[in-house]
Amino acid sequence: MAVLYGSTRGNGEKITASMAILKGLAEDGGLFVPDSIPALDVPLKELLGKSYQEIAYQVMSRLLTDFTEEELRNCINKAYDSKFDAPEIAPLVKKGNSYYLELFHGSTIAFKDMALSILPHLLTTAAKKNGVTNEIVILTATSGDTGKAAMAGFADVPGTRIIVFYPKDGVSPVQEKQMLTQKGENTAVVGIYGNFDDAQTGVKNIFNDKEMKEKLAGAGFQFSSANSINIGRLVPQIAYYVYAYLRLMEAGEIQENEQINVVVPTGNFGNILAAYYAKEMGIPIARFICASNENKVLYDFFRTGCYDRNRDFRLTNSPSMDILISSNLERLIYKIAGNDAEKNRNFMEQLGAEGKYEITEEMKEKLREFYGNYANEEETAQTIRQVYEETGYVLDTHTAVGKAVYEKYKKETQDNTKTVIASTASPFKFTRSVMTAIDKKYEDMEDFQLVDELSELAKIPVPQAIEEIRTAEIRHNTTAQVSQMAETVMKILGI
């Protein structure tokens, strides 16, 4: 059955999956959602022992129904190849009493690779299917990882350009160097004087600027997005939760149909929403444990039903979660509002005008599967140190937030259901924070000296993604005020 996509704020007009991927954001400012979530109508036992690529096909073919089998398998095989340094693509490892789903084995050592390695192939296939002749300009805001992963995916892909905006002082040194050294004639990076929310709002404003769209079209360009607002980012993420469940079954850790919990450290809500969609497709997940850092807007939302971004923005050691506007939450709000676009639109208008909204009691009832909590900087560092001392396993700062929140959840609920923690980045991406958490003696060392120390400590080789930026030259040095973002885009495109 064909799955069509409509806007969370829209008038009911439905489009194909490929067109939703091409557009990125709906014209009314809403996000594209499927008109139904299809079941993964194949017995899980039949998928045991299958490759990651095969599982991804089984999941994605149910949702991207206007792609042919050949098109979709071609996209999957091009994405999940030797770019990943683990043949399983997303290994599930047990350390102590926790199961970590390692989502950081791609070319930029963060979970964003899982979706952004396939998005360029989905997008260029979608362009061909829909007879698009314009050059596609990927416009993206990043809190650190999306930018590099998107540029790595789109670098020198014919018919595309990519422009990434990031908060100049709001990413780790490794994240920044990864972006600024990115090769590719079609890539551009701009550091803005503001935070991630400023960058994300700026990108959304550009998307919604009709006059600018017309100028672009006249020059042979059209916008699309690589942010998790693009459904082509979200759908591939569902696959790794299905894969994790199958891995637990294969290891004899759970029986078929036994429920599990999932812990996701998240700021923008896309990664945990993918787990929710996996459950909607039939994977037995009991609780979704939403882990926040000190920017705990999601924690407060799940505790009170009020989403309020009117608060101080904190820069933390888990910068990919330093977010106060969780874009993907809109998809969940739409769902628990009974797929009522008008109701959802009212909430989003309140968020825009007043910086907050409060959902109804009826909607709160539908959030019972979610649990929210947060870890502060001290708790995050303590968790990194404790897990290392107990198991020899080194967590990055974001995964440590997830683990810390999981321990709080267990203490609060006494729930010992088998639980998968999404491990969203390699510790090499946040070396200084990780190493000083383990031992203060590392505080005065240089960044790349710390990389070598971490390699020795964790007994794992330095990832290629880190090795290649040791001596790489800086290729991008553009900066801009938030108010200059649209003007900067036009300048980069030569319009």
- Which residues are identified as catalytic? 112
Return d(Cα 399, Cα 249) in angstroms, integer: 23
The helix (run of H) or strand (run of E) holding residue 278 is helix 270-280
- Sort strands 478-480 and 98-102 into parallel, antiparallel or unpaired: unpaired
Q: Tokens representing 436?
A: 């000083």
DSSP alpha helix (H) spans, 359-416: 361-365, 377-391, 397-413
Would you say how long the chain is, in residues? 495
Return d(Cα 19, Cα 2) in angstroms, integer: 14
The answer to whether the Cα torsion of 232, 238, 239, 240 is positive or negative is positive
Return d(Cα 304, Cα 358) in angstroms, integer: 8
Answer yes or no: are the C-beta atoms of 474 and 448 closer than 8 Å.
no
Answer yes or no: are the C-beta atoms of 243 and 159 closer than 8 Å.
no
Answer yes or no: are the C-beta atoms of 140 and 203 closer than 8 Å.
yes
Answer yes or no: are the C-beta atoms of 166 and 148 closer than 8 Å.
no
